[in-house]
A and B are shown apart, each in its own frame.
Chain A
Amino acid sequence: MTEKQKNFICSILFFLFGLFMYIQSLPITPVVGKDLGSGFMPKLIAVAIIILSVIEFVLTMLKKKDKKKVSSNSTDMKGGILTIVSIASYALFYDYLGFLLSTTLYLFIQMVILSNEDNRKVKTFAIISIASSAVIYVVFNNVIGMQLPAGILEI
């Protein structure tokens, strides 16, 4: 992606967001007398977003062609997407599996994803995953006294 493409995407996304926000705030009317109403600021901000995104779009159009391309070779799409998927699944199953189980699994999987062939020590990862989730659990549940979800481990 060049800097120019980034600016185009950025201005289009914000334009759409501003438009959506403006439409959403149209039905909000003042309830209390002599008040601007709860619709005033959202409309003002929405208009500001629209104006700024249009300026950004126009300025990007006027800009001369970008010479340098932002290199995308260094990014590892697979690693990124796997990380997003594992974080999302962790959040989704956090409540159901409970803190201990979901955290141990997540820690292990994420460590495997982030490590490479040279430093992938599966046994160490497993021990650290179990130990750190146990420590966090004991600190919060027993020392601080704040309940973390027990999930399916609850009897």
Chain B
Amino acid sequence: MLLEACMQVFTPTCLGLIVLGVVVGIIFGAIPGLSATMAVVLFLPMSFGMSPTNGLSLLIGLYLGGISGGLISAILLKIPGTPSSIATVFDGAPMAEHGEAGKALGAGILYSFIGGLISIFALIFISPYLAAVTIKFTPVEYFSVALFSLTIIASLSGTSLLKGLLAGVFGIAISMVGMAPIDSVERFTFDNFQLMSGFDIVVILIGVFAVTDIIMSGFGRQHLDDNYEKAKYNLNGYGITMKEFKEQFGNMIRSALIGVGIGILPGIGGNVAGLLSYTATKNASKHPEKFGTGIVDGIIASETSNNAVIGGSLIPLITMGIPGNTVAAILLGGLTIHGITPGPLVFQKSGVYVYAIFLALLVANVVMLVVERGALKWFVKLLDIPKHILLPIVMACCVVGAYASNSRMFDVWCVVLFGLLGLLFKKLSIPTTPLIIGFILGKMTEENLRRALQASNGDISVFFTRPISLAFLVVAFVFVIYTLRKSAQAAKLKESE
């Protein structure tokens, strides 16, 4: 079966489609407002007309390229090109300011490859074992996982814990607009049918991360081009020395494992994986205060883990038919159209295609490593375009992206409104990242809490008696205490100064 898969993947057409997918994916990933998800959505109808192997290979190339392209704009434009690269901005932007854009890019690409590779091996070798655990998950476990993830809000809040928490709960509040889970009661729609399905995450991300920045550039137009002086970059190979590679080995493995783990859990995507690994690396580091000032550790954590999500998100997809994130959900559609039903029996029934997916992933990963590094010169050229010309074009792409997600004007207006909201947040020094995390996890938390309590007749002890759930809650609790202590220490330090 493996041989047959090889014969299907290693054809000029299929390899050509993988390269096309990766290149288009990188471009979509790099342009803010166009995401990996969108690239896969746009090409999905095109893949229906191809053979299953060709179609799936194209989609996989797009997925991998899309996730890997985000780091380019995260570093060069300070705007995450795709939600997965949010955490890359934290250290990528300061590194570019210090003239280390080349190193940041090189390390980002190399560790994207490594993260992808580790996760593909995880997918191939350990998927049956991991599937055996997650298949037993009930809403009780899902709630605890969501609650655990929400505690990240606290540690990501920067200097002001309270403002971060406020932004986080505000994110949860906006996620409640539209039809409620379980009973489909309309909430906060104010009789506007456009609000029935709630806000699209793409719309919020484009608004808060891109439009806000463009408006801010209007306020700072006098200094627009001095901030964006072309960062000189000097890059040999991938910018990482053997010594650094050895130093970062623990970081790499930890981030890859977090990425694979997050990928497996349904509903949580690369953005959360990147943020979680960033936080974990920061907390484990001997010099956590350097994070955010431009050190390569942050880039490695974020980029290793967001690519590690790729393989992880396919584990529950292939073995159980449960997509690990939005892109995996679209891939599920691609599989079903070609008559492949994911599930425990998929290896017997459609084994060839499963092996073809594995091979396409490995090939796409190598193509990404070569193409993104090889064409880096052209990507860095983005910096040559003056900001007063580039930013308006970015804005036009944002509007196209917002319109494209649902083909409705309502989303375009929402992008502008969220841009203004982001501006208000910036002016009041409120962090915006917790808003996004709150939004992503809000729905999941509520739905699973309600489902779990329905099943237990309102008995909350279920969350503490089931071992996996208890473990996540304990970790969440420890995390909160740890963050509170750290922030108290930081406040003391500030006062004594």
The 7 closest A-B pairs by CB, nearest first: A83-B218, A80-B219, A38-B180, A114-B388, A110-B392, A79-B221, A38-B185
Within 8 A of A (CB), among B401-449: 403-404, 407, 409, 412-413, 415-416, 419-420, 423, 427-430, 442, 445-446, 449
**Residues A106 and B412 in contact, CB atoms below 8 Å apart:** no
Please measure, in the bound complex, the distance between the C-alpha atom of A6 and the C-alpha atom of B427, giving whole angstroms.
8
Interface of B is mostly: helix
Chain B contacts for A145, CB-based, 8 A? 45
Q: A90 to B399, Cβ gap below 8 A?
A: yes
Determine which of B45, B162, B224, B386 lies in contact with A55 in the assembled complex, contact meaning CB atoms within 8 Å: B162
**Residues of B close to A36: CB separation below 8 A:** 449-450, 453
Q: Which residue numbers of B lie inside 8 Å of A, CB to CB?
A: 42, 45, 162-163, 165-166, 169-170, 172-173, 176, 180-183, 185, 187-188, 211, 214-225, 386-389, 391-393, 395-397, 399-400, 403-404, 407, 409, 412-413, 415-416, 419-420, 423, 427-430, 442, 445-446, 449-450, 453-454, 457-458
Q: How far is the CA of A106 from the CA of B393 in the complex (A)?
A: 9
Contact A136 B215 (CB under 8 A): no
Checking B187, B225, B388 against A111 with a beta-carbon cut-off of 8 angstroms, the contacting residue is B388
Query: Which residues of chain A from 104 to 130 have a CB within 8 Å of any chain B CB?
Result: 106-107, 110-111, 113-116, 119, 125, 128-129
Contact A59–B162 (Cβ < 8 Å) = yes
* C-alpha spacing A31/B183, complex, angstroms: 7
A41 within 8 A of B: yes
Other-chain contact of B173, A21, A90, A129 (Cβ < 8 Å):
A21
B217 touches A45 (CB 8 A): no
Which residues of B lie under 8 Å from residue A34 when comparing CB positions? 453-454, 457-458
Cβ contact of A28, chosen from B187, B387, B419, cutoff 8 A: B187
Q: Given the complex of chains A and B, what is the CA–CA distance between A115 and B403 in angstroms?
A: 27
List of A residues within 8 angstroms of B429 by Cβ:
3, 6, 10
Bound: A1/B426 CA distance, A: 13
Residues of A within 8 A of B183 (CB): 30-32, 35, 37-38
The winner among B183, B218, B395, B409 for most chain A CB atoms within 10 A is B218
Contact B169 A76 (CB under 8 A): no
Report the separation of the CA atoms of residues A41 and B451 in the bound assembly, to the nearest whole angstrom.
13
State in angstroms the CA–CA spacing of A74 and B45 once bound together. 49
- CB-contact partner of A35 in B219, B403, B454, under 8 A: B454
B446 and A41 form a contact (CB under 8 A): yes
Contacts A36-B453, A107-B392 given; indicate if A76 touches B416 (C-beta within 8 A). Answer: no
